[in-house]
Structure 1
Amino acid sequence: MAGIKAIVFNTIFLIILNVVSANVQVKTNSGVVEGIEVKSILKDEKYYSFLGIPYGEPPVEDLRFMPPKPHKNWEGVLAAKKEKKPCAQFNFAIRDTSEYGFYGVEDCLHLSIHTPKIPSTSQNVNLPIIVLFINEQFRVMPNISKEFGPDFFMKEGVIIVSVNHRLASLGFLSMEDDLLPGNNGLRDVILALKWIKDNIHNFGGNPNKITLMGQQEGAVLVEILLHSPKAKGLYHGAILQSGTVWNSLYFTGKARERAIEFSKQMEEHATTTTFMLKRFADVPAEKLLDSEHMAVHADEARAIQRGIIPFGPVIEHDHPEAIITKLPEEGLVNIEVPIMIGYTSREALEANKNFFVRPQFLTYADRDFLVMIPIRAGFHFTVNDKIYFRAVKDIKDFYFDEGYVKNSKPGEYITYMSDVLSFYPIDYAVRKYSKESKSDVFYYTFDFSGELNNRKIDALKEARNYDGTWGATVGDDLCYLFVCKKIKKAYKEAMEQNDSEEMQVLDNMVRMWTNFAKTGNPTPPGDKFTWKPATPENKECLLINEELQMKTKLHEDRVKFWDDWIKKYKEMAKDSVVKDEL
């Protein structure tokens, strides 16, 4: 009996010992954090995760709508073993998701760190860092550590950090004054980057090799920081995926008007900042976020031919704490770090998936054609004037085989929408940066279609028409860099194959992205491929598919069309409006 007890005791002891050995503690300037050892999807690999480390005080009560304050130091050991909830947000039905409506919390200023190695007294570790930002329209943010596994980056010796920051009105409400200038969501990020720079060496990171990486509006956030003196010195490179600050969707102005209208629609009418903050102080976050659409008139976007985000980054008035005080186009670009920038070949496929399910709806798309001016061009049309319809005809004649949107060819409409929403603004950014920036610009197009194209596969699962569904939609490239946990099984199946095209594409991308984090060059000397930086003359662009190919002047006919179209109608504008002559 005593022998059995001894065996049971020893077994329990070993189990406890194994659990404890899976934890790891790191001392930071804020206090000690305890993370966990994680088994990688890759055989015999592991890494360490520290989840939900606070970098800012909870932005609640008197700190709601206010700039963030650094988190106070803590006593004892902070458990960082579970991912915290993301910042409060209202998830709208842009695409299939398990979370619709309100979710998240206001106490959300946390960051998570994944590292392949921890320094010890016998081992000095000095790894590059990628800080990852993903959000959609500054309104929705995934729980990054839960949805995107860092396994492949861990294998290559690159630390991944993700940052929670405030979204929508909670992060970007602005009255255009000193008390409420807007952009507190950006201030959150800058505070987090300062914490990372001061503490990342404790996790094996090199504070002088920090690359910012953003996808969709996460890329826009990163790009704004490139233009902000407040973020200078906090990063050493940038990766911009499927988003650019040059898109007409951003910096639409009227932030104060929008805030006042918002308060009016909320029945908390306020015309001064102090009164607005007082009226909004006790309004539940769910009510605030669910009501934001009321700040924008239903016909406003159509009237100015630009998309409108109710509450996003703003150009601030000139004050000591301003993040950005002028539009990027108001002066020469002065960026001193290397940039990777690109897009997926069928960016708008997901957002327009209903046209593949019900192609007959394209009849309405033709009848009430959506005109979008892709960049801030300084003009808009008077809707329904003859000249407006002439501009519509120009677009239709170029993009549609017979000059109208046909039910049988949704692919033509996807090309148009992809160009105005993503490709042309990104190509425009490449031209600006390659001409004016002091560092290299690496331009890419992700075109591969395979079993890891998670968002494209989801978008087309009920499709009846597959015209124009080649290539990749927005976000598909992320699943060739990270382990998209929703399709984790697909990675295991791909890795078991000797000739998996998916793994070939993934290996190439991870190698280039991590090389960029390490050296500022995705294909440094000695690499088996050379990704040439873009030049203003040729716009060298890497086409990512089963094989890597360098292209020059990609889709130049489409670029020229928009260059000419914008120039033509801008010259006709009077007081920024293009309208019929009386």
Structure 2
Amino acid sequence: MVLVSVFFMNLLCAMVPCDPANSLPEIDGVRVSGMSGFRGKRLISGGGEDYPVVESRNGAVKGFPMMVMSGRRIFAFEGIPYASAARFQDPVPAKNWTGIRKAFSPGSYCLQIHPGKMLRVFGSENCLTINVYSPKIPASEQAKKLPVIVFIHGGSFTFGSGTEFGPSYLLEKDVIFVSFNYRVGVLGFMSTGDNNSPGNYGLKDQGLALKWVSENIENFGGDKDRVTLMGQSAGSVSVHLHMLNPTSQKYFHRAVLLSGTAHNHWGLQNSTRVLKLTRALAKWVNCGTASNQEIVSCFRKIDPNWLVAAQMNLFDWIPFPAVLFAPVIEHAESPSPFIAESPSVISQSGREAKIPAIFQMTSQEGLMLNYALNGMMKIGGFRNAVKKYLSNYLDYDYVTNDNLNLQGNITDRILNYYNVTNPRNAPLSAYGEMGTDRMFSVGISKGIKLHARIAPTYASLFSFFGKYNQGKFLGVPQNELGVAHTEDLYYYFNASIYLPGFKQHDKEAELSKIMVNLLINFASMGEPLYTDKKSGKDHRIWDAVSPTDEVMQLLQLDRDVLMVDDPFAERKRFWDSLHLKDTIPLVDFSPLLNETGTDSSNDI
């Protein structure tokens, strides 16, 4: 039935437009209309210097001029191949080309089902392309080199593209912006737990993109020794995993993690769970399950669109679990393991990259779970059966019921802690708070505390409720709105596939400029200073996290930008007390269970 629904949605969207039509950012007081995508106003001319040619390791590429929000002209190079990959195999660098390659449009999305595109299956397996945006192309090797920000998109490791996020806000400043595509979903993260398909293909794509940046970015005006790796959600987990990978560490020098770390339980799948998903998918697409070799061989032969669409059948209760195929800890004997040990082991043994890092989350991350239920028209069903579905909603359904009804015990404790006495009538914000803590704040806090032991670490909380709130555009009722997952992302990047761009005099645009100011200085100097526009002086408004503080200090990004105490500290201690194996605390504050909620198959 799910596959039939996906088929008819794809058929419908082949006949009528299904993509949202949001406005682009206002440019220099003039609103740009009638254009799709994020790329902003293109400048039309006869060529020459307006269409610069840059030499890359693979061959020459020609870019085009673009205008950002301030009216500044920049140069864009889109859809440059950086790698290629056969299905379920590690990527290899892109082949060289002769002549000049036009880099005038983004490459294809990697094949996926995208919730922002009406759950259509679209894209291509030939998708490993990179985009570079530069305010100026160097006239010589002696020209001043600019800091570089490389962004890894999120999307539950299942959907998304680097082309969705544009440079209109960032490139008002002198910085190079790079985005790229990587394989997602089953094609990017399917694993059999052995050498038949070790997994982590999407991460290995990302690693080659980082290498490409290191080898080529100076020709675009960038400084290969000042590369900041930035990501959001699944992209943020990816950033953290690169911080734990000794090969990747060579290619970047600062990190920005928005709404995710490798310590968030959904950031890595345990081998038993992902193999279960793989075998279930094999049944749905009529591949045998006699052996892992047979499954992988069959997956490589069948129509990839069918394989991707069939993922919809793997949800326990649509749209949960929020993450299906994801990074895994590979066996050490894998040919080229991306990660072969637990992130906690790597971090606590001092092998995490010792670089300045920013960790950020929104104040109500978990509301996105409610938005997903709203979009699937399942709010009523959830309210009427909270005790049945809460373990799916919060992703602890792996806890078995054979030990004093442990799963039910955990559910009761969670509901009691968040004062949900009548689940049918409880405000949805209560469930949003549960999601914020379980899915985000606990793991992010652990990542912050571990990194603060080895390098300058800055924490921030985005709590600004603006008029471009994504819940409004998703049709969420007014009383259920908040500052949900991804809200902060749109203040760094314009992304018209999701939300309209800002207008020049919006309060949102003012906050965006502050956030970009801090980010650019961090990318340039390794410290998020604020540069006063009038005086040109730098001010330290953001203190680094002290690893010895009992309550963490973080920068609040709201109508007032100031340092505040961590508002989630007490709630995190509650989750630590549950002793779920996938959220092992750094400090065991107050164990309240005699029996632990563990699963011996969970190897994370």
Which residue is 1:580 aligned to?
none
Which residue is 1:334 aligned to?
351
Match 2:90 to one of 45, 67, 81: 67
Which residue is 2:386 aligned to?
366
Secondary structure of 2:502's aligned partner: helix
Which residue is 1:149 aligned to?
166
Post-superposition shift, 1:541?
A: 0.9
Amino acid in the other structure paired with 2:133: H
Which residue is 2:224 aligned to?
207
CA distance in 2: counterparts of 1:137 and 1:100, whole angstroms: 14
Post-superposition shift, 1:433?
A: 2.2
In 1, are the aligned partners of 2:189 and 2:325 still within 8 Å (CA)?
yes
Secondary structure of 2:187's aligned partner: helix
CA distance in 2: counterparts of 1:49 and 1:288, whole angstroms: 34
CA pair 78-327 structure 1, distance change in 2 beyond 3 A:
same
Which residue is 1:517 aligned to?
523
Match 1:309 to one of 290, 304, 323: 323
Whether 1:118 and 2:131 are equivalent positions in the alignment is no
Which residue is 2:305 aligned to?
286
Whether 1:429 and 2:444 are equivalent positions in the alignment is no
Secondary structure of 1:483's aligned partner: coil
Match 2:416 to one of 392, 397, 403: 397
Which residue is 1:11 aligned to?
none
Which residue is 1:49 aligned to?
76
**Within 5 A, what are the aligned runs for 1:38-187?**
38-43=66-71, 45-57=72-84, 59=85, 63-91=86-114, 93=115, 97-121=116-140, 124-142=143-161, 144-145=162-163, 147-187=164-204
Match 1:449 to one of 460, 465, 475: 465
Secondary structure of 1:559's aligned partner: helix
CA pair 341-110 structure 1, distance change in 2 beyond 3 A:
same
CA distance in 1: counterparts of 2:62 and 2:317, whole angstroms: 51
Whether 1:546 and 2:559 are equivalent positions in the alignment is yes
CA pair 360-268 structure 1, distance change in 2 beyond 3 A:
closer
Secondary structure of 1:90's aligned partner: strand
Amino acid in the other structure paired with 1:104: G
Whether 1:466 and 2:479 are equivalent positions in the alignment is yes
Q: Deviations over 1:32-52 (max 9, x none)?
A: 000101122213x11111001
CA pair 171-140 structure 1, distance change in 2 beyond 3 A:
same
Which residue is 1:198 aligned to?
215
Tell me which structure has the larger Cα radius of gyration: 1
Amino acid in the other structure paired with 1:315: I
Q: Deviations over 1:366-389 (max 9, x none)?
A: 343513797999x83417954443
Post-superposition shift, 1:173?
A: 2.0
In 1, are the aligned partners of 2:150 and 2:178 still within 8 Å (CA)?
yes
Post-superposition shift, 1:242?
A: 1.2
CA pair 367-67 structure 1, distance change in 2 beyond 3 A:
closer
Amino acid in the other structure paired with 1:264: K
Amino acid in the other structure paired with 1:352: N
CA distance in 2: counterparts of 1:429 and 1:373, whole angstroms: 23
CA distance in 2: counterparts of 1:80 and 1:376, whole angstroms: 45
CA pair 314-508 structure 1, distance change in 2 beyond 3 A:
same
Amino acid in the other structure paired with 1:480: Y
| Structure 2: gaps (5+ residues) | 1-42, 532-536, 580-587
Post-superposition shift, 1:347?
A: 1.1
In 1, are the aligned partners of 2:399 and 2:406 still within 8 Å (CA)?
no
CA distance in 2: counterparts of 1:279 and 1:458, whole angstroms: 41
Match 1:572 to one of 574, 577, 595: 595
Range 98-107 or range 247-256, more displaced: 247-256
In 2, are the aligned partners of 1:451 and 1:490 still within 8 Å (CA)?
no
Which residue is 2:568 aligned to?
555
CA pair 329-16 structure 1, distance change in 2 beyond 3 A:
closer
CA distance in 2: counterparts of 1:380 and 1:570, whole angstroms: 14
Post-superposition shift, 1:485?
A: 2.7
Whether 1:345 and 2:363 are equivalent positions in the alignment is yes
CA pair 381-316 structure 1, distance change in 2 beyond 3 A:
same
Which residue is 1:10 aligned to?
none
**Within 5 A, what are the aligned runs for 1:264-303?**
264-294=283-313, 296=314, 298=316
In 2, are the aligned partners of 1:344 and 1:474 still within 8 Å (CA)?
yes
CA pair 358-248 structure 1, distance change in 2 beyond 3 A:
closer
Which residue is 1:8 aligned to?
none
CA pair 489-431 structure 1, distance change in 2 beyond 3 A:
closer
In 1, are the aligned partners of 2:147 and 2:223 still within 8 Å (CA)?
yes
Amino acid in the other structure paired with 2:59: G
Which residue is 2:11 aligned to?
none
In 2, are the aligned partners of 1:359 and 1:410 still within 8 Å (CA)?
no
Post-superposition shift, 1:290?
A: 1.1
In 2, are the aligned partners of 1:337 and 1:439 still within 8 Å (CA)?
yes
In 2, are the aligned partners of 1:362 and 1:410 still within 8 Å (CA)?
no
CA pair 394-153 structure 1, distance change in 2 beyond 3 A:
same
In 1, are the aligned partners of 2:384 and 2:423 still within 8 Å (CA)?
no
Which residue is 2:56 aligned to?
28
Whether 1:232 and 2:232 are equivalent positions in the alignment is no
In 1, are the aligned partners of 2:63 and 2:76 still within 8 Å (CA)?
yes
Range 384-393 or range 192-201, more displaced: 384-393
CA pair 324-17 structure 1, distance change in 2 beyond 3 A:
closer
Post-superposition shift, 1:418?
A: 1.7
CA pair 551-36 structure 1, distance change in 2 beyond 3 A:
same
Which residue is 2:10 aligned to?
none
In 1, are the aligned partners of 2:316 and 2:392 still within 8 Å (CA)?
no
In 1, are the aligned partners of 2:492 and 2:512 still within 8 Å (CA)?
yes
CA distance in 2: counterparts of 1:109 and 1:398, whole angstroms: 46
Q: Deviations over 1:207-245 (max 9, x none)?
A: 111111111101111111111123120111111111222
In 2, are the aligned partners of 1:268 and 1:280 still within 8 Å (CA)?
yes
Post-superposition shift, 1:529?
A: 4.2
In 1, are the aligned partners of 2:138 and 2:220 still within 8 Å (CA)?
yes
TM-score, with structure 1 as normaliser: 0.84
Match 1:527 to one of 509, 513, 538: 538
CA distance in 2: counterparts of 1:277 and 1:375, whole angstroms: 28
Amino acid in the other structure paired with 1:139: T
Range 228-237 or range 326-335, more displaced: 326-335
Number of positions where the alignment pairs a residue of Structure 1 with one of Structure 2: 534
Post-superposition shift, 1:431?
A: 2.3
CA pair 279-503 structure 1, distance change in 2 beyond 3 A:
closer
CA distance in 2: counterparts of 1:66 and 1:488, whole angstroms: 35
CA distance in 2: counterparts of 1:298 and 1:466, whole angstroms: 28
Whether 1:478 and 2:489 are equivalent positions in the alignment is yes
Range 154-163 or range 417-426, more displaced: 417-426
Secondary structure of 1:269's aligned partner: coil
Secondary structure of 1:66's aligned partner: coil
Post-superposition shift, 1:534?
A: 1.2
CA distance in 2: counterparts of 1:511 and 1:39, whole angstroms: 19
CA pair 67-317 structure 1, distance change in 2 beyond 3 A:
same
Secondary structure of 1:139's aligned partner: coil
| Structure 1: gaps (5+ residues) | 1-14, 578-582
CA pair 511-376 structure 1, distance change in 2 beyond 3 A:
farther
Range 243-252 or range 337-346, more displaced: 243-252
Amino acid in the other structure paired with 1:202: N
Secondary structure of 1:484's aligned partner: coil
Secondary structure of 1:429's aligned partner: helix
